[in-house]
Structure 1
Amino acid sequence: MGVRTWIEGWPVYRQLTGSDPLGRGAAAQSGRSKALDARTVTADRVARSVCPYCAVGCGQRVFVKDERIVQIEGDPDSPISRGRLCPKGSASKQLVTGDERATKVRYRRPYATEWEDLDLDTAMDMIVDRVLDARRRGWEEKDSEGRFLRRTRGVASLGGATLDNEENYLIKKLFTAMGAIQVENQARI
């Protein structure tokens, strides 16, 4: 490589001699970065969605290639977010494609040191048995003056921010129908 080739490849030289004196465009790009393409360019299709994290309802564009999500970005056509996403919304691709995402029911028995895999039916039966038992043990039919309460303090719910609006709505309906009075979401805490 000659000195001239080296100098012409130097970003400061390109910045001072080219049409980009502030070094914000072509002068700042290396040959390697010029050759790169965004993941969104090679996508087969784009699906529109709504961010699942909070009640704002920011629009998202989900880029799909070979039936796999390759990128999730803010939707510039969304009147709510106008293409912007918060840090959690920007990382929502990880929610659906992350390697650490749990895909099996894991259970650690009391006093055990290891986790075991359970089939879904067994896990659901265990949950139902425990919820019904806690509801029954904490049930309050009437107060001390004979007024009907029909509630339980044996069951409570604390929703998380990874639940979407529909999930939180259904959880609220379920726990209220069971008589629970402590139904909250971490977004309000």
Structure 2
Amino acid sequence: MRKLLYLSIAVLVLLLSACGVKSNSISKVDIGVINVHTKEKVSYGMTRSEVEKVLGKGEKIGDDTMFSYEDGLSIIYKNDQLIGIMLSNSSEGIFETVRGIKVGMLASEVLNLYGSENNISAESKILQFIYEANSGKFLKAYPKTSEEIKAAQIYMYDSFIDDNQYIFSVSLVDESALVDQ
């Protein structure tokens, strides 16, 4: 009976870990935010009209690809679909990514999530991770050509860090979607 209990617990742990976001990677699933108060979520692939049902009308920044919303959230669209999110200082305490990354957290927490060895930034005030989905590996440098970006399926995470090692901006983008097809 005890063996059956241990086996059941092991299977449950395996199933629960398989349901979440894969750690030490970046994918489309990561490109989304949750309002910590309302639990409403906007995520990769949503249309601008679907996003605006959740967030309200956005204000265009430049061309038709980037819109700013209340509370420090900006969204990048390609062909009217969400492909990137950006959180600024004013999002603190309101939004977090689907992995729980938020403005105001310690940079060390993000380094633990993605692996400090995968941070390609040489600057002490910037975290930058470039993940190549086709190989399932973090890259050590940004691809040099748009053809390499398209072929590789690149997802990128960036954060800026203040003097006390707290994050004050977060960006998650499907870089391959930014490249013209």
Q: Please report the TM-score for the alignment, with normalisation by the length of structure 2.
A: 0.25
Larger Cα-atom Rg: 1
Structure 1 or 2: more strand by fraction = 2
- TM-score, length basis structure 1: 0.24
